[in-house]
Structure 1
Amino acid sequence: MSGEINQLFVALAQLRKLLGGAIDKANEAMGFADEIGGEFEQELSTDIDALQTTLQELLDDLDTSIDEGKTLWADEESMETSLRSGLEDEENYKVDSEHIQDERDQEKSEEKEDRK
């Protein structure tokens, strides 16, 4: 599962990089539209502004998803550690219980031998 989680974060990081690049390209396009000026600039600047806003919202949502993913991963690791600890405690209890039972059986066996 850890491998899949790492792959997920790699994919999200790549997506974040692509979105950042798209925002940079939108800024570049805005600069070209400003240079051209006139009606061309007026029409395109509105569309590019809307595009930049959408891209920034996507980037913000992606950052939120990455943060939530990191939190979930940390929670899962904590839960696995806790579960492992509980299983180890249970195994230790079983071993101790078996050891105590073996000692009792040995004592009973010795008592029977002593009675004979």
Structure 2
Amino acid sequence: MRKEEKDFLKKVEKLVYEQMKDKHVNCDTVCESLGITNQNLRRKILAITGQTGGKYLLTIRLDYAKELLATGKYSIGQVALKCGYEDANNFSRTFKRETGQKPTEYAANNKK
């Protein structure tokens, strides 16, 4: 991966972290912040990561959730809110679908 690609992904990740508590963080909000079109954002993310824009943003959110769960300091509901989910059940379903584990299982198996 070239430096400019890494820098671009870091910018996207930073924006997602900044907007994470807003449940509406998506490609549109990231595009607006970066000053590029939605099509351009999605094309660049796909070319660099092989993931769709939405899938890449979800990956960032779930990686953050994994970090929080591994600390053992937060309830599932708190992690859900910190990652932009209003509903802990929706978060849990998404987490299980994407990782193959329930958040409680992940937390128990990955405590730091």
TM-score by length of 2: 0.27
Structure with the greater alpha carbon radius of gyration: 1
TM-score by length of 1: 0.27
Please state which structure has a larger fraction of its residues in helix.
Answer: 1
